[in-house]
């Protein structure tokens, strides 16, 4: 892709770019603070949340953690890049332009980038938030990037369900329970 085309795409998705930049920054700062304050400490609980530092060697919720590192890291990085470079542009082209699309895509991009940065920099993802053990002792540990991915995916599905589709994608709406 030529640089002028890349800049045009960023300009067309200015809202997505701004949201992604802010959330990636918040994600990386929160991970650095967690690594500094929670390293070697006992979990800290407040209300429904618990904070404790973990290193996620696998993908979401520790999937693939048992794979050899020589296979696991390239596989997860490849899937992250596939999401960013193939799946998101496809989804974006099928959603009607607007704030809902920009917010959803910005959250998904920031979540994927935040965790990809961790994998490339540390070889694992830094997780530190979970539900309090009083509420759920089996709660997965997550981070700001994971929350962004979850919220962005939920917003995308909501947009599909309510019919915020471009004309060429209206045929897939019934699959998601949206109007035909």
Catalytic residues: 127, 146
CA 117/CA 28 separation, integer angstroms: 9
Largest Cα–Cα distance of the chain, in whole Å? 54
- Alpha-helical (H) ranges within 62-135 are 69-82, 88-94, 99-122
130 and 50 in contact (C-beta within 8 Å)? yes
Q: 55 in helix, strand or coil?
A: strand
Backbone angles phi, psi at 17, to 5 degrees: -65, -45
* Cα-based distances in Å from 16 to 12, 22, 98, 120, 123: 9, 10, 10, 23, 27
What is the per-residue burial (b if ≥16 Cβ within 10 Å, else e) of 136-171? eeeeebbbbbbbbbebbeebbeebbeeebbeeebee
Tokens standing for residue 113: 């980038």
């Amino acid at each position: 892709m030529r640089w002028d085309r890349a800049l045009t795409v960023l300009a067309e998705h200015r809202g997505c770019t701004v949201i992604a930049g802010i959330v990636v920054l918040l994600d990386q700062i929160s991970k650095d603070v967690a690594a500094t304050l929670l390293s070697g400490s006992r979990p800290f609980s407040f209300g429904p949340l618990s904070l404790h530092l973990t290193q996620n060697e696998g993908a979401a919720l520790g999937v693939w953690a048992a794979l050899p590192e020589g296979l696991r890291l390239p596989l997860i990085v490849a899937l992250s890049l596939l999401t960013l470079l193939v799946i998101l542009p496809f989804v974006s082209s099928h959603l009607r332009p607007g704030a809902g699309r920009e917010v959803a895509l910005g959250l998904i991009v920031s979540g994927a980038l935040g965790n990809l940065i961790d994998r490339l920099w540390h070889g694992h993802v830094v997780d530190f938030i979970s539900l309090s053990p009083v509420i759920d002792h089996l709660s997965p540990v997550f981070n700001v990037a994971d929350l962004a991915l979850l919220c962005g995916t939920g917003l995308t599905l909501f947009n599909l369900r309510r019919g915020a589709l471009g004309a060429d994608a209206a045929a897939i709406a019934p699959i998601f329970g949206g109007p035909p």
